[in-house]
Amino acid sequence: MTADHRIQGISTAELAAQHGTPLYVYDADLLRDQYRTLREVLHPAVEIFYSLKANPNVAICAELRKLGSGAEVSSLVELATARRAGVDDARIIFLGPGKSREELAEALSEDGCTVVCESFGELDLCEELAREHALSPRVMLRVNPAFEVRGAGLSMGGKPRQFGMDEEQLLAVDEPAARWPSLRIVGVHAYMGTRILSEDTVVRNTEGILELAERISSRLGFPLDVVDIGGGLGVAYFDNESDLDPKSLTQRLNPVVETFHARRPGTRVIMELGRYLTAPAGTYVMRVRYTKTSRGERFAITDGGTHHHMAAVGIGSFVKRNFPATALGRSADTETEPWNVCGPLCTPGDTLLKKASLPDLRPGDLIAIERSGAYGPSASPVFFLSHGHPAEVLVADGRAHLVRRRDTLDDLLGKQVPVDPES
């Protein structure tokens, strides 16, 4: 990592000076590369849908849409974001275990968006809404599979879950056409988990889901127009991890898809990806405010913290693991020392880096946390201590665009309603 950190030739330090810190910076080239590298080798029958919850910025979604990606959304605002990013409704699926009546009324459609139903109660509500609006909407069934695939520390399926309907329950449904006469059940969805870094797990999940989808559609007697095989491909964050190799992954995955596709050429296959697409493209930039020592350890207190980047806490193992980080403007070969890098929140949990090897830090220094484009502010306690959402900059075609401004005092306080003493 060079200390002179640039994104498409633009100095990250200059972006930090111009837009202030803490700041998220996204590199559209990295985003595009990540998508295209996979797209080029992935079986052409597999469509990539972007899971907006990984990074709901409309500009990010628009970049991926321009490359051909569909969208997987889980709220009305995510649906509106995908539409604003130019995603065609026919390329949007709406899922989530607790959709409201309002969300379903907006998303149910005959030839647009596809709703993925996660419970029998939701199917009943969709039926009611379909009748109310005289629609025959397309819906998919999210299944909670009975099979279990172990790999890379992950073991999923076969567990009680709030997501989807248990495979056993779905297979026991009698006469779905009589129970939900207005709905057109067109497909099956399964999602086996996140941060998968094992080829074997991806391949075996896919085999299991394709087989199960065929079994469910033939047992329930609906045409299998779509199978969503989930996704959840990970990226390497920590020392002991390595990235998936798209070539080697698809050499094993494509034959599984091909066998299915040859048998059912009319069935669409969707893969949902969030983290995999956006994580490598994002950098979280923060500035050191104070340095100090406490009982023999060094601390740098920065203006950025876990309220914007909860993922960097590195939970999920007994030892805290650090995201890749660099001190900008410091030559990489200076002697490094262990630093605890903490944010402004009044909790010991606000530790972004623990005993990280960084050069001798001083107030004013910038620290960049890499691979931060997924599950940043949207998956963090942004309102804790009321600092609000950071600014976001997208560098595309050699130009920096402010794609989200920092929350202001009015943004944060304006929605509070003081009690009127006169009332």
Ligand X SMILES: *Cc1c(COP(=O)(O)O)cnc(C)c1O
Interface positions with ligand X (CB under 6 A): 51, 53-54, 72, 95, 191, 194, 230-232, 272-276
Provide the token pair at 172: 């026991």
CB of 95 to ligand X, least distance (A): 6
Strands 366-369 and 282-294: antiparallel
CA distance 307 to 345: 8
CB of 200 to ligand X, least distance (A): 17
CA distance 207 to 70: 23
CB of 278 to ligand X, least distance (A): 8
Neighbours of 319 (CB within 10 A): 8
Closest CB to ligand X among residues 359, 373? 373
Q: Are 320 and 313 in contact (CB under 8 A)?
A: yes
Closest CB to ligand X among residues 232, 390? 232
CB of 155 to ligand X, least distance (A): 16
Q: Are 79 and 113 in contact (CB under 8 A)?
A: yes
Q: Are 95 and 118 in contact (CB under 8 A)?
A: yes
Closest CB to ligand X among residues 54, 104? 54
CB of 161 to ligand X, least distance (A): 11
Q: Are 45 and 254 in contact (CB under 8 A)?
A: no
CB of 272 to ligand X, least distance (A): 4
Tokens 């620290």 found at: 367
Region for 416 from its dihedrals, namely left if φ exceeds 0, alpha if ψ lies in -120 to 50, beta otherwise: beta
Closest CB to ligand X among residues 228, 392? 228
Closest CB to ligand X among residues 5, 275? 275
Closest CB to ligand X among residues 27, 72? 72
Cβ-closest position to ligand X = 274
